[in-house]
Amino acid sequence: MRLTLHTDYALRVMIYVGRCEGDLVTITEIADFYGISKNHLTKVVHHLGQAGYLETVRGKHGGVRLLKRPDQIRLGAFVRATEEDFALVRCLRNEEEDEACRLHDQCLVTQALTAGLTAFFAELDRYTLADMLERERDAAQ
């Protein structure tokens, strides 16, 4: 399984903004820090604002800041909010009856993949943005 670039950038945005502890930061600052496209980050920040993770302030002295406390942002929930598709194989998609796998209910592969995905998110949900920020602070010292 591979997460999209959108989720990668969204995680970077959250870590950068979280490190600023409530101060407004600009998309340009974040893009320059990570060396990534400002245009792409604009889309990511817009999505994070709509999803309720960031407060966006427009204008000359605008920017973004966390809308929630870092200890309230679970990594699993965040990844679920930024990714669109977790169907690891075609037969796990919610498709029309005539295209659905005929063995789905008895298939060990789909059961195993579903269990693996559940375990993946259970593990991610053990961590918060606060945990990531703390680890980064510890590494910097």
Which residue(s) pair with 74 in the sheet? 128
Query: Residue holding tokens 């961590």?
Result: 127
Using 50, 70 and 90 to split pLDDT, how confident is the model at 105?
low
As a whole number of angstroms, the distance between CA 134 and CA 59 comes to: 31
**SS3 at position 117:** helix
CB 4 within 8 A of CB 118: no
The pLDDT score that the predictor gives to residue 94 is: 63
| pTM > 0.85: yes or no | no
As a whole number of angstroms, the distance between CA 3 and CA 7 comes to: 6
Q: Is 4 left (phi over 0), alpha (psi -120 to 50) or beta?
A: beta
Give domain 5-140's CATH number out of 2.40.128.50, 1.10.540.10, 3.60.40.10, 1.10.10.10: 1.10.10.10
For 113-129, what is the mean pLDDT? 93
For 52-58, what is the mean pLDDT? 94
**Phi/psi at 65 (5° precision):** -150, 165
Closest by alpha carbon to 54, among 18, 79, 1, 28?
Answer: 18
Ordered by start, the domain boundaries in the chain are: 5-140
**SS3 at position 2:** coil
**Phi/psi at 41 (5° precision):** -65, -35
pLDDT in tens, 7-52: 999 999 999 999 998 899 999 999 999 999 999 999 999 999 999 9
Higher-confidence residue of 111 and 81: namely: 81
